[in-house]
Amino acid sequence: MIRLAAFAALVLPLALVGCGGDKDKKDQKAEFKNDKKDGHDHSDHDSGQFKIEDVSLPGVKEAHAKLTAHLSKKGEHELEVIFETTDKEPKRIPLAITKMGGIVNRRAGGKADDKAYNLEFVPAPKEERKDDPEGLCSHFSAEARWMKPDDELTVTLNIPIEGKIKTVVWPGFIPKKWGHEAD
């Protein structure tokens, strides 16, 4: 019995040091810090004139759905969506889709609207998607005349793919931050 107690007194402290030492904690932090679940860096997801969300599309496991606002001086505002690869040099992804439905919830002046705005995204003019093969589209737009530059929007896009609906959501979208002026 005395031998067992002496053995436990020697072994237990060594086991605790081995399992919970500072070196092990540092290694665990480094491992999680560098963990990229989907294989690409998300630091650029909200950059330039686009707010970007991940989506999987036919033939492309990882893709980006890029949302921007087209702000018109005439008040003919639009929301636009572009599908691209996640490559360092992104390439457009044309899809066999003629229209997509969308819903927007709006906060204007700090207050939420009590209604949702329904949108229909259709292919953008051909000159804005010159490389798309005939019958395919990578760039869609929807009229949003009610949209104001300072609004805070939650945009939900329903993409009809292979008989199913894929949903992409952009929360906290601010048109003047992720938009461009035209006219």
Between 86 and 61, residue with greater pLDDT: 86
Lowest mean pLDDT among 13-17, 61-65, 66-70: 13-17
Kindly list the structural domains of the chain, giving each domain's residue range(s) and its CATH number in brackets, ordered by start. Answer: 2-33 (no CATH), 46-182 (2.60.40)
- Residue closest to 155 by CA, chosen among 112, 123, 119: 119
Asked whether the predicted pLDDT for residue 173 surpasses 70, the reply is yes
Asked whether the predicted pLDDT for residue 36 surpasses 70, the reply is no
Give the pTM: 0.74
Q: How confident is the model at residue 47 (pLDDT cuts 50, 70, 90)?
A: low
